Amino acid sequence: MPVEKHDNPVIATLRSAHDRTADRITGATHGIGRALAIAFAAEGHPLLLIARHVEAIAELADHPHRFAAVDVTDYAMLAAAIEGAEAQFGPVDCLVNNAGFIHIGDFSKRAIDDLDYETDVLLKGVLHGVRAVLPGMTERKRGTIVNVSSIGDRRPGPSGETYHAAKAAVRSLSESLQQGQAKNNIRVINLAPGLVKTNIHETMGISFEEYCKMLGNPDFIAPERIAEIILFCYKLPQSICIRDLVVMPTTSGY
């Protein structure tokens, strides 16, 4: 069952008075988030990097960026981090909601607090990010929001029920936002990847080798390829929006 762990919350780009764009990335120290930070930095965008546990990224040493140790379930802290970055770099032009994790186990035995927190991160974290940047984007009549979902948003499996339900909700949210924000020239993109090589196995309590065996030893996509796809979507003219995109290895029949 291909599902993704997104340990780094959100990438957002900020546009300053000098027409520089800065990117805000949540969950930006590992996996897809880290790859996004490096890819957007290479294009010259200042960055706001958000994660629960901040770790320096060597490739960004000489690049303008800010780190914020924030849990995306805390709206006040998230909004304050964005406000601080906007004061330094300019208003948000692109947000990438990428925070998340997955717990696999017998649903009837999982603790309620665990179920609640997983839902808070995977769904409310996205809602918080969107709510924080949308008023400014609406006022400026431009912006891009990328919600990193999962192949599980349309192909749920027999476990990870909370994860798949939340990802389906994110996909629905993205479509509703697309319809509602088209009049404001705001692009909303739902990206649904599967079989990306991350550390998802760690929250499942198994080794990467065991994880591969469980899935039938499939090919995996490098996080850098997902970052390239997101950057490609963002660099298209504002008048073009790739609304919903599924990304899987060519050799996968899932």
Both structure tokens of 241: 């929006």
With a CB cutoff of 8 Å and minimum separation 6, the contacts of 100 are: 4, 5, 6, 7, 9, 27, 121, 122, 125, 148, 163
Secondary structure in 3-state letters for 118-162: HHHHHHHHHHHHHHHHHHHHHHHCCEEEEEECCHHHCCCCCCCHH
Measured from the Cβ of residue 185, the count of other Cβ atoms closer than 10 Å reads 15
Catalytic residue among 163, 211, 234, 254: 163
With a CB cutoff of 8 Å and minimum separation 6, the contacts of 205 are: none
163 is known as an active-site residue: yes
The answer to whether 28 and 50 have CB atoms below 8 angstroms apart is yes
Q: Which residues are catalytic?
A: 163
